[in-house]
Amino acid sequence: MSGILIAEQILNGLQAGVMLFLMAAGLTLIFGVMGLINLAHGSLYMLGAFAAAWVAGATGSFGLALIAALAGAALAGVLIEVLVIRRLYGAAHLDQVLATFALILILSEGTRLVFGSFPLYLDIPPALAGPVTLPGGIRYPLYRLALIGAGLLVAVFLWWLTVRTRIGIRIRAGENDREMIAALGVDISRLYTIVFALGAALAGLAGALVGAIQSVQVGMGEPVLILAFVVIVIGGIGSIRGAFVGALLVGLTDTLGGIFLPELFKLFMAPDVATRAGASLASMAIYILMSLVLIWRPSGLFGARA
């Protein structure tokens, strides 16, 4: 196994990780501020991907496709928040889970009704197509590098937003004390809509960006949603920093596990058995990671201690 392969896999892991971060950041923000568990977050990811694929198909512009993903998901987020989610703040978790599960059913089947069951494809923009040669002679797809860059940019943006801006301060205040912030005259329900739309836009962006390297289809959101939950459990709920660290850990573990575990097993097993056992174990690697974190710190790496 060569150093180049390892470097490639690390980059793949980072790329998967930052995309997961886009999902997890929105989820954790929405939970932190509104106390809401949103299963339909994966649907927003899917909607973003479909909006992008559709606009790209119609206009041929990847830039417009991304804008459509952001705007489409944010708009869907606002609609969902105003029509349904708003009634769920302060409701029992079971109600939130059920209502957002119902939203998944409606949005997934609705998308299938409109776009059909066949996957759509979103092409990588020509400017970002093809590999580049990195220092050390690693040839790596430029688009994936761009994804890593985009994810890091969003992370910086979120940090700036929550720490440095007025709306961020309101978000953090809302997180701590919703009555206090309401008493200060901030329109709490508008703030909540904005936070939800922001989370939705991030999910939609992730869906569009990933949609260009995978197919765009109904049901694409939920596996990512569940991975994002694993990220949040590891990182600690409500913590954007935790979401970032957790996302990278999960992305790297998942990618590297699939490559290294079979190799590791080959050291003391027959190759074919090792490949199979390694692949099976690799499929569980991130959940084992999650279990270990749970044993060590039940409220996550950066979660508030219970």
Partner 1 sequence: MIPERLIAPLVMGALLAVALWALAVDAPFTITLTTRAAILALAAVGLNIALGIGGLVSFGHAVFFGLGGYAMGILAHHAQSYTTLDLGPLSIAGSKSMPLIWLVAVVTSALAALLIGLLSLRTSGVYFIMITLAFGQMFYYFAISWAAYGGEDGLSIYVRNGFPGLNTLDPIQFFGLCFALLCVALVLHARLRAAPFGLALNAARQVPARVEAVGLSPMRLRLVAFVISGAITGLAGALFADLNRFVSPTMFSWQLSGELIVLIVLGGTGRLMGPVIGACLFVLLEHWLGALTEFWHIWLGVILLGIVLFARGGVVGLLTGKAGPHV
Q: How far is the CB of 111 from partner 1 (least distance, A)?
A: 10
Q: Is residue 9 within 8 Å of 256, Cβ to Cβ?
A: yes
Does the protein bind partner 1 through residue 215 (CB under 8 A)? no
Does the protein bind partner 1 through residue 298 (CB under 8 A)? yes
Token duo for residue 192: 């909540």
Residues 154-213 that bind partner 1 (CB under 8 A): none
With contacts defined by CB under 8 A, name the span among 6-14, 131-139, 141-149, 290-298 that binds partner 1.
Answer: 290-298
Does the protein bind partner 1 through residue 31 (CB under 8 A)? yes
Does the protein bind partner 1 through residue 110 (CB under 8 A)? yes
Token duo for residue 189: 């329900």
Ordered alpha helix ranges (H), the chain: 3-34, 41-59, 62-83, 93-115, 142-164, 166-176, 178-183, 188-211, 221-235, 240-266, 271-296
CA distances to 61, 99, 219 from 210, in Å = 16, 27, 14
Report which of 280, 228, 231 is spatially closest to residue 257, judged by C-alpha positions. Answer: 280
C-alpha 225, offset from chain centre: 7
Residue type, 69: A
Chosen residue from 5, 163, 270, 294 binding partner 1 by CB under 8 A: 294
Q: Is residue 285 within 8 Å of 252, Cβ to Cβ?
A: no
- Helix or strand run (H / E) with residue 141: strand 138-141
What residues have CB less than 8 Å from 103, skipping those under 6 apart?
39, 40, 43, 80, 84
Q: Output 103 or 150, the one with its CB closest to partner 1.
A: 103
Does the protein bind partner 1 through residue 256 (CB under 8 A)? no
Q: How far is the CB of 275 from partner 1 (least distance, A)?
A: 10
With contacts defined by CB under 8 A, name the span among 164-172, 175-183, 196-204, 277-285 that binds partner 1.
Answer: 277-285
* Residues in a beta bridge with 80: none
What residues have CB less than 8 Å from 184, skipping those under 6 apart?
173
Q: How far is the CB of 249 from partner 1 (least distance, A)?
A: 14
Q: Output 23 or 70, the one with its CB closest to partner 1.
A: 23
Chosen residue from 7, 10, 37, 152 binding partner 1 by CB under 8 A: 37
CA 160/CA 28 separation, integer angstroms: 17
CA 244/CA 239 separation, integer angstroms: 9
Does the protein bind partner 1 through residue 263 (CB under 8 A)? no
Q: Output 241 or 276, the one with its CB closest to partner 1.
A: 276
Chosen residue from 5, 102, 180, 184 binding partner 1 by CB under 8 A: 102
Chosen residue from 3, 87, 184, 304 binding partner 1 by CB under 8 A: 87
Q: How far is the CB of 46 from partner 1 (least distance, A)?
A: 14
CA 1/CA 83 separation, integer angstroms: 53
Chosen residue from 5, 58, 79, 113 binding partner 1 by CB under 8 A: 113
Q: How far is the CB of 258 from partner 1 (least distance, A)?
A: 10
Q: Is residue 186 within 8 Å of 80, Cβ to Cβ?
A: no
Does the protein bind partner 1 through residue 99 (CB under 8 A)? yes
Chosen residue from 1, 94, 164, 305 binding partner 1 by CB under 8 A: 94
Q: Which residues bind partner 1 (CB under 8 A)?
A: 31, 37, 84, 87, 92-95, 97-99, 101-106, 108-110, 112-113, 222-223, 226, 229-230, 232-233, 237, 276, 279-280, 282-284, 287, 290-291, 294-295, 298-299
